[in-house]
Structure 1
Amino acid sequence: MAAFDICDFSSGAPRLMLHKRYTMYQVIQEAAGAAELSWTDCEREDRGDGFFLLAPPGYSVHSLIISLAPEISTRLRQINKGLPAKQQLRLRMAVHDGELTHDDHGVVSPDLNLLFRLLNAPALRARFEQGDFALIVSDDVYERVIEWDIAMIERRDFTPLPVELTNPGRPGPNGKDEKPVHVAYASLPPQPDPGPIDRSAHHEGPDVHAQLEQLVQRMQDLLDDDPPS
């Protein structure tokens, strides 16, 4: 399963918003054709500034990452080339694999909830400041697809990021409800040097930045200790 979101969608004029929506669907549908993903066989649900896509049986999560995502990225670069920054289409894509329950109104499951938490993670928004395309995957997908892939995906291109999960209502050591953190992995285009972190400049607050700093450093240390892939 995959989900897509247009960055800074609501900051533009209505005509620009509609144009970005149209372009998003055009880009992803063309990319799907190039990646041998049958668009008509996909289950889709529009979300205004993005949409959810459930690939048909037989199309693997592996193909979403190594085939579909690069095709989307390439087309975005081509479309954005020469456009003013405000008119460029910038997309976030999240990929997860799990179980879904269908009813008369659509699909629902904890795995779907995680997919959208990946897509909308404040840490990902804070890190993705420039560039055309960002891909974030769950820890499970990273371990099963990216760590085990041979020569097709460079795992060092993926940065560990914290994703806050739903609150289970259990009090933590400080007396507040615990909010468990999922370590996801994001592939981002080159970003500007952030310099010293200004915690007041980001809407997600200091707690997320503290989690981000600690988890990224811990996970990066583990990656640096691994032998070259």
Structure 2
Amino acid sequence: MFDEPVSRRIVVGDIEGWSSRDSRTQRDLRHRLREVLNRAFTESQLPWREWADIAVSAADRGDGLLIMIPPDVSIVRLLDPFVDRVAVALRHDRHLHSDWARMRLRLAIHDGEVLPEGSGWAGHDVIEACRLVDAEPLRQALRDEPEADVAVIVSERVHRAAVRDGYGNIRPETFTEVDVVVKTYQARAWVHVPGIGIAQPSSPRKEPAAVNGTHQDGSRKKPGMPPDDEDDHHTEGDYRAPTDNAVSYGARFNATKIEMTVSGGNVILGGRQGRVVGRDNQENHGGRVG
């Protein structure tokens, strides 16, 4: 019987900064890595326990795990929700350990054909997945985001199958295209750091600059004046320049002149109106407030 390859989803996880740890910490990290991945798979409702006979720990990697997943598991689910569940599990693990023992993970996700070999796996797609997890752009992503606990890289095949069209809650704009060169391996891939790379809220809208005293909307409002629907009874000539640290305004309501000064967080009404100190206290000066 001829050897035939089998299709597998390939996940490789490597612990960042492995060689700098002492032997006991390394042993502890390996144990915790299994717990983190088990928790992420379970919370993603993926049958981790059912894969026990095909999920292989690559002893020659030392600092991580090589996991083979049946092809009937959607590649989309390994990105959503599995990747986010890994990030949550790592964050939980981080709260339980010192900074020295902190676990940060590089994760590679690939899809391909592999050959069973004893207790392990062989084939070019296995090599590709291992090269991806060692890629410098992936390592740099963790260096650039010190608060991140995991950085993910996906092969072009996975990107085309699951990321490009934004299946599920996957956001293609959060994946950065990179060139991977590891030894003789060269390829294009995409790096994603969960929670990073999401569009930031837009800056507050600025008032358009006035040209010859007239704004783009045709008004001639001065800075600090109320919106159009609140200043129908104000006239431009009633507003005077601020003095010292206070900002003063003036207006006319029918025949009554009102002067208002904002100083130190207080609003002071002058003229025939009263004086308001803070938000609650009122002190009348020749008039009624309200």
TM-score by length of 1: 0.72
Q: For the Cα contact (< 8 Å) 1:165–1:182, is it kept in 2?
A: no
Task: Give CA-to-partner distance per residue, 1:42-62, whole Å, 9 cap, x none.
Answer: 222223210111112421221
Q: Which has the higher contact order (CA 8 A, sep 6+)?
A: 1
Match of 1:217 in 2: none
SS in 2 for 1:88: coil
SS in 2 for 1:149: coil
Match of 2:55 in 1: 44
Match of 1:121 among 135, 146, 150: 135
Match of 2:24 in 1: 15
Return closer, same or farther for 1:82/1:166 CA change in 2, 3 Å cut-off.
closer
Shift in Å, 1:80: 1.1
Gaps in structure 2 of 5+ consecutive residues: 1-9, 198-290
Q: For the Cα contact (< 8 Å) 2:141–2:151, is it kept in 1?
A: no
Structure 1 residue 155 corresponds to structure 2 residue 172 = yes
User: What aligned pairs does 1:80-99 form with structure 2 within 5 A after superposition?
Assistant: 80-81=94-95, 83-99=97-113
Match of 1:101 among 115, 119, 124: 115
Number of equivalences: 179
Shift in Å, 1:63: 1.2
Match of 2:192 among 187, 195, 198: 187
Shift in Å, 1:126: 2.3
Shift in Å, 1:70: 1.1
Q: What amino acid is aligned across from residue 28 of structure 2 in structure 1?
A: H
Structure 1 residue 67 corresponds to structure 2 residue 76 = no
Q: For the Cα contact (< 8 Å) 2:76–2:168, is it kept in 1?
A: no
Structure 1 residue 24 corresponds to structure 2 residue 33 = yes
Gaps in structure 1 of 5+ consecutive residues: 168-179, 192-229
Match of 2:150 among 129, 133, 145: 133
Give the structure with the larger helix fraction.
Answer: 1
Task: Give CA-to-partner distance per residue, 1:193-221, whole Å, 9 cap, x none.
Answer: xxxxxxxxxxxxxxxxxxxxxxxxxxxxx
Give the structure with the larger strand fraction.
Answer: 2
Q: What amino acid is aligned across from residue 9 of structure 1 in structure 2?
A: W
Task: Give CA-to-partner distance per residue, 1:56-98, whole Å, 9 cap, x none.
Answer: 2421221111122111111111221374432211011100111
In 2, the alpha carbon distance for the partners of 1:64 and 1:122 equals 22
Return closer, same or farther for 1:18/1:121 CA change in 2, 3 Å cut-off.
same
Larger Rg: 2
Match of 1:77 in 2: 91
Q: For the Cα contact (< 8 Å) 2:180–2:187, is it kept in 1?
A: yes
Match of 1:54 in 2: 68
Shift in Å, 1:9: 1.1
Q: What amino acid is aligned across from residue 117 of structure 1 in structure 2?
A: R
In 1, the alpha carbon distance for the partners of 2:96 and 2:28 equals 17
In 2, the alpha carbon distance for the partners of 1:188 and 1:155 equals 12
Match of 2:161 in 1: 144
Shift in Å, 1:151: 5.4
